[in-house]
Amino acid sequence: MAECALSFIDRAPIDVDLARRQHTAYVEALQRMGAAVIVLPAEPDLPDSVFVEDTAVVVNDLAVMTAPLLESRRKEVPTVAAALAPYRKQGGLSGEATLEGGDVMMVGRTLYVGLSARTNRQGVAQLAGLLEPLGYRVEAVRFRDCLHLKSACCYVGRNTLLANSAWIDTAQFGELDVVEVAPEEPTAANALWIDEQVLLPASFPRTAQRLRDRGIMVRPIDVSEVQKAEGGVTCCSILFETE
Ligand code: CIR
């Protein structure tokens, strides 16, 4: 983790033992929220491999294995593909396309895909080519000043978007209600929504209160070490339904 990629934040020492304990607590939190969790073994040679979200976009009918921009992150994809193989048919991207799951926000059957340093137009077009025939809508959106689309906004249920509108023009999402992150918590928009509950880093109490004021149930969790690696609560898992 000490060698993780960083784009918008400065490097700070990461306590890997604490990161491990926080990861265990993260798994337990997902279980309390009702998820069955498949935990993959650590990949000590791949410093960003805890951020599995970036390696796949999973819908009910297909897992699209992504094409991360960085060479070190491309190597994360085969392990996750193998783990998803029992659950989904798989598609992939080719050529110049780049795409990372952190840039993909699903709201119902619409996938909003952020154009970023990590995700390019070919990536969006190839994702659309795979998913639109299955009845999904894929829409490119623009944002600025942060790593991934889901650093700028996340869907938190009840037709509501949690967003930092300094980084994204929320008019791109049509009719969604918007809850703004607290101004002193600009990175608080990365929130994990499962079954009407929202997991949010404990470092964002004011944003948590804003969500609670809208009747949204918030579970705080300490993820200080992945935050130093420019990650958050969505990045460390891939959510999909099994039946
Ligand atoms: C990276 O720069 O790729 C990692 N250090 C952080 C990735 C975080 N992933 C995510 O937001 N989905």
Copy the structure tokens of residue 199. Answer: 């997991």
**What atom of ligand 1 comes closest to residue 100's alpha carbon?**
12
Average pLDDT over every residue of 71-84: 97
Q: What is the pLDDT of residues 109-135, one digit of tens each?
A: 999 999 999 999 999 999 999 999 999
Residue bearing the CA closest to ligand 1, atom 2: 5
CA of 229 to the centre of ligand 1 (A): 7
d(CA 85, CA 129): 21
Average pLDDT over every residue of 57-85: 97
Q: What is the pLDDT of residues 200-236, one digit of tens each?
A: 999 999 999 999 999 999 999 999 999 999 999 999 9
Burial class of residue 175 in the structure, from the number of CB atoms within 10 Å of its CB (0-12 exposed, 13-18 middle, 19+ buried) = exposed
pLDDT at 187 (0 to 100): 98
CA of 131 to the centre of ligand 1 (A): 24
- Residue 243 above 90 pLDDT? no
Contacts of 220 (CB under 8 A, 6+ apart): 200, 201, 202, 204, 205, 208
d(CA 102, CA 181): 18
Cβ atoms 11, 1 nearer than 8 A:
no
Radius of gyration of the chain (CA): 17
CA of 28 to the centre of ligand 1 (A): 22
- Give the residue, out of 105, 118, 147, with the most ligand 1 atoms within 8 A of its beta carbon, to mutate for a pocket test: 147
d(CA 15, CA 126): 38
Ligand 1 surroundings by CB, under 6 angstroms: 4-5, 7, 48, 51, 53-54, 73, 102, 147-148, 229-232, 235
Residue bearing the CA closest to ligand 1, atom 5: 5
Cβ atoms 102, 53 nearer than 8 A:
yes
Average pLDDT taken over every residue of the chain: 97
d(CA 112, CA 40): 27
d(CA 196, CA 217): 7
CA of 3 to the centre of ligand 1 (A): 12
pLDDT at 181 (0 to 100): 98
Tell me the torsion sign for CA atoms 70, 76, 80, 81: positive
**What atom of ligand 1 comes closest to residue 103's alpha carbon?**
12
- Give the residue, out of 4, 71, 230, with the most ligand 1 atoms within 8 A of its beta carbon, to mutate for a pocket test: 230
- Residue 173 above 80 pLDDT? yes
Q: What percentage of the chain reaches a pLDDT higher than 90?
A: 99
**What is the residue whose two structure tokens read 């050529």?**
95
Strand partners, 112: 105, 139
Phi, psi of 115 (to 5 degrees): -80, 125
DSSP code string of 158-179: TTEEEE-TTTB-GGGGTT-EEE
**What atom of ligand 1 comes closest to residue 101's alpha carbon?**
12
What confidence tier does 163 reach under pLDDT thresholds 50, 70, 90? very high
d(CA 233, CA 188): 10
d(CA 197, CA 145): 28
Q: Which residues does the annotation mark as catalytic?
A: 148, 235
Please state the separation of Cα 102 from the chain's center in Å.
4
**SS3 assignment, position 77:** helix
pLDDT at 198 (0 to 100): 98
